[in-house]
Structure 1
Amino acid sequence: MDHIEDTLQRLREAFNAGRTRPATFRAAQLRALGRFLQDNKQLLQDTLAQDLHKSAFESDISELILCKNEVDLALRNLQAWMQDKPAATNVLTKLDSAFIRKEPFGLVLIIAPWNYPLNLTLVPLVGALAAGNCVVLKPSEISKATEKVLAEVLPQYLDQSGFAVLLGGPQETEQLLEHKFDYILFTGSPRVGRIVMTAAAKHLTPVTLELGGKNPCYVDDNCDPQTVANRVAWFRYFNAGQTCVAPDYILCSPETQERLLPALQTAITRFYGNDPQSSPDLGRIINQKQFQRLRALLGCGRVAIGGQSDESQRYIAPTVLVDVQETEPVMQEEIFGPILPIVSVRSLDEAIDFINRREKPLALYAFSNSSQVVNQMLDRTSSGNFGGNEGFIYMTLTSLPLGGVGNSGMGRYHGKFSFDTFSHHRACLLSHAGLEKLKEIRYPPYTAWTQQMISWALASQSCTLL
């Protein structure tokens, strides 16, 4: 506990001294983060392979490149993001200056998960550093190899006066959360998200919670089954299904299921070969605990494709389940593995009702040759993110935010959204020290004329020249 207190005290002193506020300091930290990614590319690929059996290419496209994109975007736009934003005035404040200043919160805590241990740690870090905060990183202890690199190598690049990595499991995280932070971003399960939010509430600390959930994937009768199968299979089995925005189950009619099953088998064989276990492009389950949990889910419904497992390698084959009931465990918890249940519905309306009866998901997907069907799914449901005839490729766009709604989280980040999340938007009005005669109309006693003039002035908004 003394170590935690000493670290937090050191960071607070640095923030209160204004060390992290200047644009030059922020840019220097971002450039250093970029160098960390560049200098240690091979090391990071190796650690991700060790933790999750990720191929070098999969590590690049889902972790390293996306982190580098965030750094580059922040460096290009830092000055513009930091500028005060002019605000409109009314007649009473016509001669004043109204603006929004984006100032850092102070001491930020980022608690990261294990499934994308680099991406989901460093992408929010980019926003927190760009916004001028001091940052405590808590990487996941489950992705051990990546945790070690983040703890031992990353601090060699960043200024230690404004940055620290703290390690440990649930008990250490619980102790960490007893301390006051100025902002917390947590990525993980809804269960742990509630614990984080409860701890934050004791200090009235604002939070961004990036949580999970069961992401529906509706497949319309009017579709090309092979196109749908290719896209759904890639996104479901990418990173061995350990992706918070992956499609978690398919909703479709029995007729579409019959057409979709052979197409899914074709896609899986095309992607991973006749023996997926030997494919260099298929990841592994992170640890034995998760493996045992997932293997138990294979008993739900009926295995139509896959179903094989190998405990010694923590391998579970790309699997499709059919005849799945809504009450079974595989439909009650986020799967977070290479298992895809199919649930039968008779119509689009029934699919929408099914989705709306459940907690709001982090992501929702709809596949159809009819844009009307896709738009109905978009208009009549709610989710953190939405993909029409596409999977989670939107995660590569820094122009779009990532964030949940309801049970799947609150708040958002990515790109400029990260900078805004880690910035307090301070409302400011600067008035002239003189000109008192012009302001005396505001003071009592109020005559009928002054009441009328003040009411008119308050109701009049003037445009601001940007």
Structure 2
Amino acid sequence: MTNGSLWLVEIRRGLGASFRQGVTPSLEWRRHQLLQLARMAQDHAEEWLQAIVADLGRPIAETHLMEVGPIVERAIVSAAQLETWTTSEVFTNTVPDWQKSWKPTIYRAAKGVVLIFGPWNFPMTLTLQPLSGAIAAGCCAVVKHSEVATRFASLLAKLLPQYLDPSAFRVVLGGPDVGASMMKYRFFFTGGEKIGRIIAAAAGKLLTPATLELGGKSPVIIDSNYDIKLAAKCLCVSLDHVYVAQEKQEELIAALKECYHQFSPDGALGSGSIGHIVNETHFNRFKSLLTRTQGTIVLGGQTDDKLGMEPTIVTEVTADDSLMEEELFGPILPILPVISIEDAISRIRSGPHPLMMSVFTDHQEIKKNGHQEFSSPRFFFAEPAVVLANTIIKELPLGGIGASASGYYNPRYGFDTFSYLRSSIVGYTLRMICSAEQSSEFRYPPFTEKLPS
């Protein structure tokens, strides 16, 4: 063990001691921590916004809607629901009468000390919402945020100890080496599939639970009968690629160009309406993808020296194109022409599980059968903005299956993720035990062919 990792051991040891000594079980304590989390977000809203804007260049209004607001709202909701979520379940109606006096009960218990890896793309929402779930479940937690979003990570390390109980919650800063040293504990990870596989492998060796929110390709399907101009206007959120009928491709391109010039009449770069690429590594990745694509760039593609890239539309993209290798999460929108909506469905089903999907259609049969056709954990017959509004801000769970994720969170689902079910049978007396034992003699040898009555 290196001296550089000894401090991590001390943090883990201290949090473990707090958990064993019973710091977290009290609902009043959990409620206070959740309300403190909301206060931390609200009291320093401007600082959070400025940190995220500095890291990502994202517009203030969008950042407040997608980051600060949800944390305040969800933490308050969780605090109000603790009694409901933690209520034990007693089985009295589903067990035989002779077992009812045993009071078979299921309790929800905290998993213990958890480790939360946060991402850079939605740094506040995708870090503090899992933390909210851990608090609600009664866990202690270490939060390790992505070193890519340096301003946000530093602010988190500064503010969290001022609001939350430092004996139960700690923030750790550092790069991949620190993250690797921390892979000895329970995990909650939000990020890409590549790192997710490393974390899953580490967790498997230690037989420790791991919940992974991995992202992934998030397709849009546009029905050929849908209003193309409306669809183009709604393609404002970074879903990953679009399937559209071959005969509608040019109409969609024209509509997207019209929207672009409407939203950015003087050009997108430097307008303040779009974010910049988070760092040079990702910036070069996007440039490489555009260099290698076999598709045709019909809009955008220009960059500046401030890590800015214009919204870029690439047409005639195929399934084996560079733009389809991994989740993009950037200002590039590949368009894949298809013969029909059935063709799009077939292509999606032949690949990894999407993170989420959005289908623009008025076709009632497609809406009726869509949930059986697709394997995406989040599936919506709506524009992408509505998808995010419902998964990030509202009650629907974030999570997935396969390459997109494993496990779920968002208020109640976060509580479920960081707790486990503990079964209990109580109420035995010595007379009951002896009676049960006498009636169970058939369990012991010598055995006969006679069946117990």
SS in structure 1 of the partner of residue 409 of structure 2: coil
Tell me the TM-score normalised to structure 1 length: 0.90
The 8 Å contact of residues 39 and 72 in structure 2, kept in 1 or not, is answered as no
Q: Distance in 2 between matches of 1:293 and 1:163?
A: 35
Q: Distance in 2 between matches of 1:97 and 1:324?
A: 61
Give how far 1:397 is off. Answer: 4.4
Q: Distance in 1 between matches of 2:329 and 2:395?
A: 26
Q: Cα distance 1:270–1:425, how it changes in 2: closer, same or farther (>3 A)?
A: farther
Q: Distance in 1 between matches of 2:439 and 2:345?
A: 55
For residue 279 of structure 1, what is the aligned residue in structure 2? Answer: 271
For residue 120 of structure 1, what is the aligned residue in structure 2? Answer: 126
**Alignment partner of 1:439 is 2:432:** no
Give how far 1:425 is off. Answer: 1.2
Identity between Structure 1 and Structure 2 (%): 33
SS in structure 2 of the partner of residue 403 of structure 1: strand
Instruction: Within 5 Å, give how 1:389-428 maps onto structure 2.
Output: 389-391=382-384, 392=387, 393-428=389-424
SS in structure 1 of the partner of residue 208 of structure 2: coil
1:97 alignment partner AA: K
| Range that drifts further, 93-102 or 162-171 | 93-102
Give how far 1:417 is off. Answer: 0.5
SS in structure 2 of the partner of residue 34 of structure 1: helix
Q: Distance in 2 between matches of 1:185 and 1:15?
A: 18
Q: Distance in 2 between matches of 1:361 and 1:442?
A: 55
The 8 Å contact of residues 273 and 279 in structure 1, kept in 2 or not, is answered as no
Q: Cα distance 1:258–1:17, how it changes in 2: closer, same or farther (>3 A)?
A: same
| Residue 142 (structure 2) aligned to one of 136, 140, 160 | 136
Give how far 1:274 is off. Answer: 3.6
For residue 5 of structure 1, what is the aligned residue in structure 2? Answer: 9
Instruction: Within 5 Å, give how 1:223-302 maps onto structure 2.
Output: 223-232=226-235, 234-236=236-238, 247-299=239-291, 300=293, 301-302=295-296
SS in structure 2 of the partner of residue 97 of structure 1: coil
Q: Distance in 2 between matches of 1:65 and 1:86?
A: 37
SS in structure 1 of the partner of residue 452 of structure 2: helix
For residue 174 of structure 1, what is the aligned residue in structure 2? Answer: 180
Give how far 1:440 is off. Answer: 4.9
For residue 342 of structure 2, what is the aligned residue in structure 1? Answer: 349
The 8 Å contact of residues 11 and 162 in structure 1, kept in 2 or not, is answered as yes
Q: Cα distance 1:230–1:442, how it changes in 2: closer, same or farther (>3 A)?
A: farther
The 8 Å contact of residues 360 and 405 in structure 1, kept in 2 or not, is answered as yes
Q: Deviations over 1:41-84 (max 9, x none)?
A: 11111101100112221111100011111101111111221221
Q: Cα distance 1:221–1:90, how it changes in 2: closer, same or farther (>3 A)?
A: same
**Alignment partner of 1:43 is 2:47:** yes
1:399 alignment partner AA: E
Q: Deviations over 1:266-293 (max 9, x none)?
A: 2223333341113222111100110111
Give how far 1:298 is off. Answer: 2.1
SS in structure 1 of the partner of residue 380 of structure 2: strand
- Structure 1 gaps, min length 5: 237-246, 453-466
2:224 alignment partner AA: D
Q: Distance in 1 between matches of 2:337 and 2:431?
A: 72
For residue 203 of structure 1, what is the aligned residue in structure 2? Answer: 206
1:105 alignment partner AA: K
The 8 Å contact of residues 355 and 376 in structure 2, kept in 1 or not, is answered as yes
1:31 alignment partner AA: L
Q: Distance in 2 between matches of 1:316 and 1:374?
A: 36
2:420 alignment partner AA: H
Q: Distance in 2 between matches of 1:254 and 1:314?
A: 34
**Alignment partner of 1:193 is 2:196:** yes
Q: Distance in 1 between matches of 2:96 and 2:68?
A: 48
Q: Distance in 1 between matches of 2:266 and 2:450?
A: 86
1:148 alignment partner AA: S
Q: Distance in 1 between matches of 2:193 and 2:95?
A: 42
Q: How many residues align?
A: 437
1:330 alignment partner AA: L
Q: Distance in 2 between matches of 1:74 and 1:34?
A: 10
| Range that drifts further, 45-54 or 378-387 | 378-387
Give how far 1:438 is off. Answer: 5.5
The 8 Å contact of residues 240 and 327 in structure 2, kept in 1 or not, is answered as yes
Q: Deviations over 1:226-272 (max 9, x none)?
A: 1111112x113xxxxxxxxxx21111111121221111122223333
2:377 alignment partner AA: G
SS in structure 1 of the partner of residue 143 of structure 2: strand
Q: Distance in 2 between matches of 1:443 and 1:378?
A: 49
| Residue 215 (structure 1) aligned to one of 218, 224, 229 | 218
Q: Distance in 2 between matches of 1:294 and 1:314?
A: 11
The 8 Å contact of residues 223 and 367 in structure 1, kept in 2 or not, is answered as yes
| Residue 309 (structure 1) aligned to one of 303, 307, 310 | 303
| Residue 331 (structure 1) aligned to one of 324, 327, 330 | 324
**Alignment partner of 1:364 is 2:348:** no
Q: Distance in 2 between matches of 1:270 and 1:86?
A: 59
